[in-house]
């Protein structure tokens, strides 16, 4: 009998209220593009940030009645996310590279100081910081890319990818137990 590794979440992302479904608890839609608001909510949940009694970041498009308000305010206060002037744009999509930055900062990962990835599309980027954030995810085994040689930094992030990145980041900082099953 062969040995294999199985990741067991105790509790799971859903059971621990880190991720939520769309319109119901039984519909996740992993291939749907993730919004900035969803990413903020899921990341704040994963980081266990206090989202009540937060300072108002002043984003005109995030009223205090928004389901994302507490998460966005907490992440902003922690220096993990920023906005576009006085707007956050919670309903717009975000890219895989943008999430790489959020995860690196949010999970307080040691940011790479150089980028020697196998990802040809990352190596072609002109922004060194973006390369370093992506390299950080590679260094922590949080990503393997969209193919063996591409990361797709400018591709819009899906909800499934968001959940995978968060799960892997939490594993990287030992939030979940990994066991070997024979």
Summarised one tens digit per residue, pLDDT across range 132-168 is 999 999 999 999 999 999 999 999 999 999 999 999 9
Q: How far apart are CA 169 and CA 165, in angstroms?
A: 6
Residue 179 has pLDDT above 70, yes or no: no
User: SS3 for 179?
Assistant: strand
Q: How far apart are CA 76 and CA 78, in angstroms?
A: 5
Which residue, chain included where needed, has tokens 């009998």? 1
According to DSSP H, which parts of 29-108 are helical?
A: 36-46, 69-77, 96-106
Q: Is the peptide bond before 47 cis (omega within 30 degrees of 0)?
A: no
pTM: predicted TM-score of the whole model, two decimal places: 0.85
In this prediction, residues 112-119 reach a mean pLDDT of 91
In this prediction, residues 111-126 reach a mean pLDDT of 93
Among 68, 22, 78, residue whose Cα is nearest residue 47: 78
């Amino acid at each position: 009998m062969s040995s294999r590794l199985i990741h067991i979440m105790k509790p799971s992302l859903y059971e621990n209220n880190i991720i939520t479904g769309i319109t119901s608890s039984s519909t996740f839609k992993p291939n749907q593009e993730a919004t900035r608001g969803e990413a903020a909510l899921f990341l704040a949940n994963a980081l266990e940030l206090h989202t009540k009694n937060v300072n108002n970041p002043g984003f005109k498009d995030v009223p205090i009645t928004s389901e994302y308000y507490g998460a966005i305010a907490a992440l902003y206060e922690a220096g993990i996310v920023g906005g576009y002037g006085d707007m956050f744009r919670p309903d717009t999509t975000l890219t895989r590279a943008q999430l790489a930055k959020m995860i690196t900062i949010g999970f307080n990962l040691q940011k790479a100081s150089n980028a020697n990835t196998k990802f040809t599309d990352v190596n072609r980027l002109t922004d060194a910081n973006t390369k370093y954030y992506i390299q950080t995810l590679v260094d922590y085994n949080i990503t393997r890319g969209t193919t063996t040689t591409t990361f797709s930094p400018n591709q819009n992030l899906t909800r499934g990818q968001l959940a995978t990145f968060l799960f892997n980041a939490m594993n990287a900082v030992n939030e979940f137990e990994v066991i070997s099953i024979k």
